[in-house]
Amino acid sequence: MMDPRALQRLKRDSRMKGLMALCLGLALMPFAALTLLLVVKGLPTLSLGMIFQAPRSGFYLGGGGGIAQAILGTLLLGGGGILLATMLGFPAAIALQREMAPPALIRFARLVLDLLWGVPSIVMGAFVFLLMVSLGVGASLLAGMLTLALVMLPILVRGMDQALSSVALELKEGATAMGATRSEVFRLVVLRQALPGLMTALLLALGRGLGDAASVLFTAGYTDRLPSSLLDPVASLPLAVFYLLGTPDPEVQSRAYAAALILFLMVLAVNLGGRLLGRRWSRHLVD
């Protein structure tokens, strides 16, 4: 016969497991509800013409055409922004390692990056907009890329910093003891071990940038044409959803849900692709 106290502990553990499962279900419920909403309202309107055609006359009043310029603009903004952020963020993450800088400076830099992470993206957009006004330039693809790079930068640097810091010290010391130089230790040991985490940080920042509308509202502008240079204004899917959803025509509003569904699938593809790559590269890591 089981001890009453042991039986009581088992019941308590069972209740706690049930409570945690309920909390997990509640946490996943918004994702399920959002997916269902976008599929139900956006999928009937989604078509190849909407994906591959630019808006025609009267598109926002129910006319023909699609949102190809917004899809391409989102890819250009996100790709350019993550490229600029990586060019600056990867060296910054390396500089945050304990072998590279004094501990006090590292702690201060991490605190600043955490504060920047919490700054609303529209503040970043307003900052770049003030720079544009002072320089006398208008909204453009380049300004939007710079804005998204600022939004992505703290996320990217802190994620890469965590990935590089997670590499075991014993691996570095072992490689050094075997005669490897500092650059060889970083390239052959640290970078290889941190690669899944680095990719996760990059894709996390890219996913944030793809769906950001507030930061590029003042800097990238909006247009129905495809950009021909970095100095041309460019459309984006988040702003396309905003403008389409603000019309009183139900048919046009349904296009907003279709655009949101496309954006949702793009962000989902980025995250799933990152997980698959991370899982593949993690096979060769040393635990």
Please give the residue that has the higher pLDDT: either 169 or 87: 87
| Mean pLDDT taken over the chain | 84
Rounded to an integer, the average pLDDT of 39-46 is 87
pLDDT tens digits, residue range 83-95? 999 999 999 988 8
pLDDT tens digits, residue range 261-284? 999 998 888 888 777 776 776 665
pLDDT at position 287, please?
Answer: 55
Cα 35 to chain centroid, rounded: 18
Q: Residue 30: pLDDT above 80?
A: yes
pLDDT tens digits, residue range 195-241? 888 888 888 888 888 877 778 888 888 888 888 888 888 988 888 88
Q: Residue 286: pLDDT above 70?
A: no
Residue with tokens 């309107």: 45
Q: Residue 145: pLDDT above 80?
A: yes
pLDDT at position 196, please?
Answer: 81
Please give the residue that has the higher pLDDT: either 225 or 286: 225
All residues at 6 or more sequence positions from 39 whose CB lies less than 8 Å from its CB, including other chains: 261
Task: State the pTM of this model.
Answer: 0.84
